[in-house]
Amino acid sequence: MKKEVLPVEWLKYENELRAQGYKYICGVDEAGRGPLAGPVCAAAVILPPDTIIEGVNDSKKLTEKKREELFDVVIETALAYCIAFGSVEEIEEHNILATTMMTMKRAVEGLDIKADYAIIDGNKLPKLDIPAQYVIKGDANSMSIAAASILAKVSRDRLMLEYAKAYPQYCFEKHKGYGTKLHNEMILQYGPSPIHRMSFLKKLLNGK
């Protein structure tokens, strides 16, 4: 049976850092590193001390409806939050990893309250002017990171729904730009759109 993360564990990193004297700890996560189209999105969230938002979890484990509901709860609960995007043009110029790091940095630096420590989902750190640590699978182990994962995922999904109206032939509303069978078929049928990441399409287009 899969172990359930207990509430006290959700705040493990935040509580350890507060015990060291840090006050404004932001959780940071991204959404959209893997898709073939659209930007990457990152969010940073500072929650009040000892705050556990019921239902919050790694955004990938939640239904779209639940994520939408929790999006508003996170925003209402947070002391500060910031949502940032890294464009397709930046991804093509710098690569997806570098753009993701830049986007995380934008989210942290865009907070209305300056964070004095950042906990980042993943295994790499963006270049910040505050202390930071990464947490592997942080969106399943830190309330702050899990809250950020919801803001990033919902914000990117909403943007892809707007792109679906502009480019209806690709059915972005169904796959949000990820490389599904349907998406691949639409790319091969209609060719890439202005929001496709050409560097991600090389294998697909070369095998055409």
The string of DSSP codes covering 86-136 is E-HHHHHHH-HHHHHHHHHHHHHHT-SS--SEEEEESS-----SS-EEEET
169 inside domain = no
150 inside domain = yes
CATH code assigned at 84? 3.30.420.10
Residues 70, 62: contact at Cβ < 8 Å? yes
65 inside domain = yes
For 52-62, what is each residue's pLDDT tens digit? 998 887 667 88
pTM of this structure: 0.94
Contacts of 185 (CB under 8 A, 6+ apart): none
Output the pLDDT for position 186: 97
188 inside domain = no
173 inside domain = no
11 inside domain = yes
Residues 135, 142: contact at Cβ < 8 Å? yes
Output the pLDDT for position 61: 80
Q: Residue 5: which pLDDT band, with cuts at 50, 70 and 90?
A: low
| Beta pairing class for 40-46 and 25-31 | antiparallel
Mean pLDDT of 164-190: 97
Percent of the chain with pLDDT over 90: 88
90 is in which domain, residue-wise? Answer: 7-156
Residues 144, 26: contact at Cβ < 8 Å? yes
Q: Residue 2: which pLDDT band, with cuts at 50, 70 and 90?
A: very low
If one counts the domains in the chain, the total is 1
199 inside domain = no
16 inside domain = yes
